[in-house]
Amino acid sequence: DARVTQTPRHKVTEMGQEVTMRCQPILGHNTVFWYRQTMMQGLELLAYFRNRAPLDDSGMPKDRFSAEMPDATLATLKIQPSEPRDSAVYFCASGLVTGGQTEAFFGQGTRLTVV
């Protein structure tokens, strides 16, 4: 049963600490998305990659957020330093772009609390 796997599922950290979230996309998918979900804003796109190359990271605060894909089986989202306003659920999704169509499949998310 192919699925997107995210770790950790929950993270509580103190303000100023570094946080790294990891995502294993579905094998064979060539597009990876990072979304953030809050009650106020809903799902917001932070960044996405195609064939491991970043295509758009305009949704990320550049001074503290960074996203990478070291290889095809791993995507990371890092926050340094973390702030209380970063508290949210972070979702990774992957998809296969074929003929211009992309259906994204989501992981279970990482619930981040910054105190």
Q: Tell me which residues touch other proteins (CB under 8 A).
A: 4, 31, 33, 35, 42-43, 45, 48, 50, 55-56, 91, 93, 95, 97, 100-109
| Least CB distance to other proteins at residue 3 (A) | 9
The secondary element (H helix, E strand) that includes residue 76 is strand 74-79
Residue whose tokens read 């294993």: 24
Nearer to other proteins, 42 or 70 (CB): 42
| Least CB distance to other proteins at residue 37 (A) | 9
Residue whose tokens read 């950290």: 13
Per residue, what are the HEC states of 37-64? Answer: EECCCEEEEEEEEECCEEEECCCCCCCC
DSSP state of 85: G
| Least CB distance to other proteins at residue 31 (A) | 6
Nearer to other proteins, 56 or 83 (CB): 56
- C-beta separation of 34 from 86 below 8 A: no
Nearer to other proteins, 12 or 55 (CB): 55
